[in-house]
Structure 1
């Protein structure tokens, strides 16, 4: 059985395991689920109405029966109805996911555009003051939480320039590209800077290892230009750890940057998960986490397949 087939076979097993963990975890949260779902309106319910709602959502059944019914619906493509949004869970997820996907792509572009050149520059100036400056930048970037960066950006824009990031109703890129980018650029910078710090450190370390290899010294001894040695020979072989880190980070971003989406009032998948937790929207939380887990596994699979493309010496198992 080939490597790709084996990985695909494990997908359903992992998703079932994730679904069980989420199913049990949210039901272990103390409190009345009906009150959490309905908020202040729950106080207006009569005892008969509360019993009817509990039966309607299946909460009067034991956990095994609830999970079995939800699993059967999953196989039919039915993730249930969201209490908070009043429509099918899958519709809510697909409606919010494009924003999170675009935000993840923009954040990755910013991170790689900043982190890769910075890491290469630091490696080629190893031990110099410029290398130290880049390492300090990377350390500060990794030590500062994204929500702090987001709040600082909002503060600087409002106090220093008398402006605020564009908020309000989200505009898809295909409807209004300029407004869309104005809404996402600062959240993307917030997430991208933190990730750029990690890319800088990883790419610097990988480049230092590669620059000491024999084939790099041979290329230099043959009179190859320094730029060619660095960007054509050394960098491609230093990209594997960067690709690994990028794949993991992109998977996390697809899960929704909850705090950043909250700070910038973005209606993305992270906000959906947060609202589902606060409102005890069981079906929405289970469906969202399952969707996030599936995306994460797909990204990791693509990263593994990219290894052999970057380095022909790597061969994925075929037995």
Structure 2
């Protein structure tokens, strides 16, 4: 409990640091929101018109004043108004995040279902042909970028089979379960395949380490069946590195799989951030990054707590 409370206390400090970094970073990009919104037509504005727009968007003051206004609004639950979508930032996040969350969960499930059995299977057959095949496939999966796999899959489906994946408007799970899985199944499979390669490699490495432990050799010497040694004795300890990797990857996915969302025209959170950066939509970028950072913190905390469930010997209070 002490560790849990200590972590919660650090959350505001980390969020404050993230807020300062993202506030400064987005303003270091050349141009401003007025020019990005109006394009070449911004040159037709009179000085008074530009000043009025700057005041309306809150960019007429120096950075310190702008940051103070923004962070005060955040503390009151007001993340500002998005100039790209014409809506409050929190409203846009609430509309777009369910897609990203579902895509992340599906991708993680696919990765674990494929990667863990493959890694364990390879570890139990070390240096055999099956082990070599698993390692080669995992290496290919890790070495191939998601966007390459996505583009190749889209080309094969459209050019060879005449199939076009569902793109555009997000189909909610409650609205149409079949349509929802049809829309997100392929992007989740592409993301899950790359992640499964990492899971397979870390599962294999971790399982090999555990299988060489004294208690595993003792269990084997006592005549415990091979399957029981692997699934009852070794697997639980071998899961800790997998949990760590899964937590980090899940945090990234919650931040939005930007490239995959762009390829499949999915209106997720990652695509929102990408469009907002292009439009110099300060409020949208700042609010989205803060939300993503909070997701990372929560996921990492849950991973640490899961360590204790997997291995009671770990005492978080002493860390």
What TM-score does the superposition give when structure 2 sets the normalisation length? Answer: 0.97
Question: Which residue does 1:202 correspond to in 2?
Answer: 202
**Residues in 2 aligned to 1:181 and 1:43: alpha-carbon distance in whole angstroms:** 46
C-alpha displacement of 1:162: 1.6
Contact 2:168 2:267 (C-alpha < 8 Å) held by counterparts? no
Task: Give the root-mean-square deviation of aligned CA atoms.
Answer: 1.3
Preserved CA contact (<8 Å) 1:125 1:131:
yes
Determine if contact 1:273/1:285 at 8 Å carries over to the other structure: yes
Task: From the superposition, tell whether residues 174 and 40 of structure 1 become closer, same or farther in structure 2 (CA, over 3 Å).
Answer: farther
Deviation at 1:40, TM superposition (A): 4.8
Kept in 2, the 8 Å contact 1:2–1:318? The answer is no
What residue in structure 2 maps to residue 132 of structure 1?
132
Structure 1 segment 129-168 matched on structure 2, within 5 A:
129-168=129-168
Give the whole-Å Cα distance in 2 for the aligned partners of 1:80 and 1:300. 28
For residues 275 and 179 of structure 2, the distance between their equivalents in structure 1, rounded to whole angstroms, comes to: 25
The answer for the alignment partner of 1:245 in structure 2 is 245
Gaps of 5+ in 2: none
Matched residue, 1:182 = 182
Tell me the residue number matched to 1:172.
172
Q: In the aligned structure 1, how far is the partner of 2:176 from the partner of 2:207?
A: 41
**CA shift at 1:22, angstroms?**
0.5
Q: How do 1:56-75 residues align onto structure 2 when only pairs under 5 Å count? A: 56-75=56-75
- The Cα shift of 1:51 comes to 1.3
Q: Deviations over 1:4-50 (max 9, x none)?
A: 11100000000010010000011111124311133355355333221
Residue 160 of structure 1: how far off its partner (Å): 2.6
Residue ranges of structure 1 left out of the alignment (5+ in a row): none
Asked if the contact 1:243–1:303 (Cα under 8 Å) also holds between the matched residues in 2, the reply is yes
Counterparts of 2:32 and 2:307, CA distance in 1? 49
Query: Residue 84 of structure 2 aligns to a residue in which SS?
Result: coil
Structure 1 residue 318 displacement after superposition: 5.7
How many aligned residue pairs are there?
A: 319
1:95 CA displacement: 0.7
Deviations 1:120-141 (A, max 9, x none): 0110010101111111111111
Q: Measure how far apart 1:168 and its partner are.
A: 2.9
Distance (Å, rounded) in 2 between the aligned partners of 1:241 and 1:205: 9
Aligned twin of 1:39: 39
Which residue in 1 is equivalent to 2:274? 274
Distance 1:32 1:82 in 2: 14
* Aligned counterparts of 1:200 and 1:318: Cα–Cα separation in 2: 31
Q: Which residue of 2 aligns with 1:22?
A: 22
1:4 alignment counterpart? 4
Cα distance in 2, alignment partners of residues 218 and 32 from structure 1 = 67
**Partners of 2:97 and 2:268 within 8 A in 1:** yes
Matched, 1:265 2:260: no
Pairwise CA distance, 1:114: 0.5
Alpha-carbon separation, structure 1, partners of 2:136 and 2:143 = 11
1:112 equivalent to 2:117? Answer: no
Alpha-carbon distance in 1 for matches of 2:116, 2:257: 23
Contact 1:18 1:293 in 2 (8 A): yes
